[in-house]
């Protein structure tokens, strides 16, 4: 089982000819109201990748909450541990340009009131994976990680949005996932040497070696690289026509976690994550773009066949 402790949002998305700069107004023809939030996105991604998933978070007592939870409910994510609080449901305001790149402003709302103690009634054990992000308070995320570790669970943190976390939080993790910008930000906060900070892969290697935390860095069109136990693993991006990159990172995290939870080795989990994230770029929106297991599996198996080495019993890692 995967337990996701994280944010639940409604995304207001518009497509425009460009992403506006400071003081600039850019016209967009329409906007869409789409379920989102990093926690919710990753929960749906893990569920669609085949895992049993429990989502723990908070929403407001408003119409946005119903819409924000609609796809999760439809796909069978357990929502019994989502609290309703006296705050507005979180919202994200997203502009997407013709190349599929996006700019996002997030209003936390109810997400700031999600609490680790909500996990007390969740059946967490040594077969559970706890998946975290940073759109709920870090103090609550760290408390959730500590609770899960006390019950033998594995803990994965997606360090998004970018920023610093405490060393105590970092050392609770079994895997850290970042994009290249988040890696640079964390390296600066940890005081890593300048030559390390400038190279996201070096950041991942240093975190693995110094803190004993396996670390994955996603690199957009350049795929992903991960360091675990002093060994580097990599996965090339799949070739797709990019429509919208919103939730690609969340989809990677959810699919990667789902693969680890069902027993995949680190390299194979990278493949599932990178394929799922790539497929998410081919559709608009956050949760509306998350692919299903059958589509992910088809591409992964083709990639494994291409990497098969004659004379070996299994595809190469």
Catalytic residues: 250
Question: How many Cβ atoms are within 10 Å of 8's Cβ, its own excluded?
Answer: 34
Give 21's contacts (C-beta < 8 A, 6+ positions apart).
Answer: none
DSSP labels for 82-114?
EEEESSPPEEEEEEE-TTS-EEEEEE-GGGGG-
Nearest CA to 217 among 246, 185, 172?
185
Give 175's contacts (C-beta < 8 A, 6+ positions apart).
Answer: 154, 155, 156, 157, 213, 214, 215, 216, 260
Q: How many residues does the chain have?
A: 317
Phi-psi region of 76 (alpha: psi -120 to 50; beta: other; left: phi over 0): left
């Amino acid at each position: 089982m995967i337990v996701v402790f994280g944010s639940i949002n409604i995304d207001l998305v518009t497509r425009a000819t460009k992403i506006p700069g400071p003081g600039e107004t850019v016209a967009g023809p329409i906007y869409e109201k789409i379920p989102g939030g990093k926690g919710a996105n990753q929960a749906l991604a893990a569920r669609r990748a085949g895992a049993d998933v429990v989502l723990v978070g908070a929403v407001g007592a408003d119409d946005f909450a119903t819409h924000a939870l609609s796809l999760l409910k439809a796909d069978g994510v357990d929502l019994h541990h989502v609290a309703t609080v006296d705050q507005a449901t979180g919202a994200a305001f997203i502009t997407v340009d013709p190349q599929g790149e996006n700019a996002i402003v997030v209003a936390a709302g109810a997400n700031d009131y999600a609490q680790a103690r909500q996990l007390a009634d969740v059946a967490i054990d040594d077969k559970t994976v706890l998946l975290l992000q940073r759109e709920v308070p870090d103090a609550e995320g760290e408390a959730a990680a500590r609770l899960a570790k006390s019950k033998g669970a594995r803990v994965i943190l997606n360090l998004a949005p970018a920023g610093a976390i405490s060393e105590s939080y970092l050392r609770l993790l079994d895997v850290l996932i970042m994009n290249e910008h988040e890696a640079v930000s964390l390296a600066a906060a940890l005081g890593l040497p300048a030559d390390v900070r400038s190279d996201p892969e070096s950041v991942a290697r240093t975190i693995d070696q110094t803190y004993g935390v396996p670390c994955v860095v996603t690199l957009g069109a350049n795929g992903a690289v991960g360091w675990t136990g002093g060994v580097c693993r990599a996965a090339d991006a799949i070739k797709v026509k990019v429509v919208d990159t919103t939730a690609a990172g969340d989809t990677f995290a959810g699919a990667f976690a789902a693969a680890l939870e069902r027993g995949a080795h680190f390299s194979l989990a990278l493949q599932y994550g990178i394929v799922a994230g790539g497929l998410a770029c081919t559709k608009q929106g956050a949760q509306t773009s998350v692919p299903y297991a059958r589509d992910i599996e088809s591409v992964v198996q083709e990639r494994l066949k291409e990497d098969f080495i004659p004379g070996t019993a299994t595809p190469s890692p």
